Amino acid sequence: MELYKENQLKVYNSLSKTKEDFNPITDGYVGMYVCGPTVYSNAHLGNVRTFMFFDVVYRYLLHLGYKVRYVRNITDAGHLENDAEQGEDKIAKKARLEQIEPMEVVQMYTVDFHNVLKNYNFLPPSIEPTATGHIVEQIEMIKEIIERGFAYEVNGSVYFDVHEYNKKENYGILSGRKVEDLIHNTRTLDGQSDKKNPQDFALWKKADDRHIMRWPSPWSDGFPGWHLECSVMSTKYLGEQFDIHGGGMDLKFPHHECEIAQSQTCSGVKPVNYWMHTNMLSLNGQRMAKSTGNYILPNQILTGENTVLPKPFSASVVRFFNMQANYRSILDFSGDALEASEKGHSKLMEAVNFLSKLEVGKTSTFDVQQWKADCYAAMNDDFNTPILISHLFEAVKVINQIREHKASLTAEDLEELKTTINVFVFDVLGLMNEATQDNSEKISGVVELLIKLRKEARENKDWALSDQIRDELVALGIQLKDGKEGTTFSIN
């Protein structure tokens, strides 16, 4: 039996602002869309927090036995620099400043994004579509919205008519904002006067002479609005209605609000059953953002090349740090917090690595089945990773007690503990067991030290000590080889 049939998952739905039982549209199948990066710069750790959480969601759904189609897009056109209707396309602006082609910018930062996710042990999505790969579909959706009377063309640009939509539907259903209460920028901005109403948003923008990224359309040579791509790609790959749409909380308005309006205009049904939003990551108590310079890149954590942390930290420790807070709460990143996470991560991995060495007992002094049920209950409660981690440390305590002969587990319970802890630590949370790598580095250091001591012994003509070091290393499976350039070793 698939595990999802015996585990009722609850999801906090941003639309209803309550936890709801998760019941996918098609039994056994889940369609999930997550807004991906705009590839004009390196993704900072705050961006990665969102993708990391949905990686855990994806992992857990797969573990429960669902067949999941996970779509995460790449925005490589149409995202204006002020996230509104004016300004320059972020990618085109970067290309102009660097004096390279826009698609060079796209390629550079898409590769960087993928490298970061690989370093941090992400599962790849099922489909990773790009905005530029779906220009034709975006033009077709604009045509349909115009035909239905919810968009209009002015001077080569096309805008969604929010007031017309709001007569029958609720623009603001996700964010809780009301059209009449929205506060708008009163500055004079290019294209602002083209709109019937300030609340209207662009579906297609006519490109001016300076705009590098442009495509032909029935209205002008131009480019699609930022919000449109996600409506197009989510419905193309997941259908007019799908199960989960995720992203950062900052996307709730206007991006996701606009998505709902566009998609519902075309299909006549609500596009998404469960909206999920992650909260932001702060750095030393301040919001992490490139605009303020208060940010850190994921790879800078691994190399230690930053002014924030006292030393490098592993990718697994960073994942562990992120999972110690609920995804809907603000999480503050600091050197102290990461050092504390490193200690906890080490304790967890030490216990996991000792599992195979535990002795089997005649009786069980720990209720493994109840513990296992508690682990599932935590994840079933809106993917509550902090509570799951607390249960994992209950198991750590028991493992250490067994090592000290203060507790015991039968063979059956011990095997159940091993299987379950490995599932949640590695398969679900996506942590990495770096003990083997760390131990190799430590062994190398110790052997190099012994080689140095052996060299000093030989220089002092202490042949007995020199031979003793060599012979005892050989007994441990470490072969020394003396050469003109020094002594090397191999491990058999």
The per-residue pLDDT for 186 is 35
Contact 296, 306 (CB under 8 A): yes
What's the Cα-to-Cα distance from 261 to each of 137, 138, 165, 271, 362, rounded to whole Å?
Answer: 17, 15, 7, 9, 63
What is the CATH code of the structural domain delimited by 282-428? Answer: 1.10.730
d(CA 385, CA 274): 19
Q: Label residues 259-280 b or e (16+ Cβ within 10 Å = b).
A: bbbbbbbbeeeebbbbbbbbbb
What is the CATH code of the structural domain delimited by 3-278? Answer: 3.40.50.620
Contact 38, 300 (CB under 8 A): no
Pairing relation of β-strands 157-160 and 151-154? antiparallel
For the chain (length 492 residues), average pLDDT per consecutive 10? 94 98 98 96 94 98 98 90 64 88 94 97 98 97 98 97 95 92 49 79 91 94 95 98 97 96 97 98 88 90 94 97 97 96 97 95 97 98 98 97 96 98 98 66 74 85 84 79 72 57
Helix axes 226-238 and 135-147, enclosed angle (nearest 10): 100
> Does 224 sit behind a cis peptide bond, omega within 30 degrees of 0 on the bond before it?
no
φ and ψ at 238, to 5 degrees?
Answer: -125, -10
> How many Å separate Cα 388 from the centre of its chain?
18
Q: Where are the alpha helices (DSSP H) in 381-424?
A: 385-403, 411-422
Pairing relation of β-strands 157-160 and 201-206? antiparallel
The per-residue pLDDT for 193 is 64
d(CA 403, CA 395): 12
φ and ψ at 454, to 5 degrees?
Answer: -65, -40
The per-residue pLDDT for 180 is 77
From the list 72, 52, 79, the residue with the least C-alpha distance to 298 is 52
The per-residue pLDDT for 47 is 92
The per-residue pLDDT for 81 is 59
The per-residue pLDDT for 97 is 87
Tokens of 324: 């110690």
Q: Write the CB contacts of 423 (distance below 8 Å, at least 6 apart in sequence).
A: 63
The per-residue pLDDT for 333 is 96
Residue that the structure tokens 């750590």 belong to: 396
Q: Could you check whether 3-278 and 282-428 share the same CATH topology?
A: no
d(CA 121, CA 322): 13
| Domains of the chain by residue range | 3-278, 282-428, 435-491
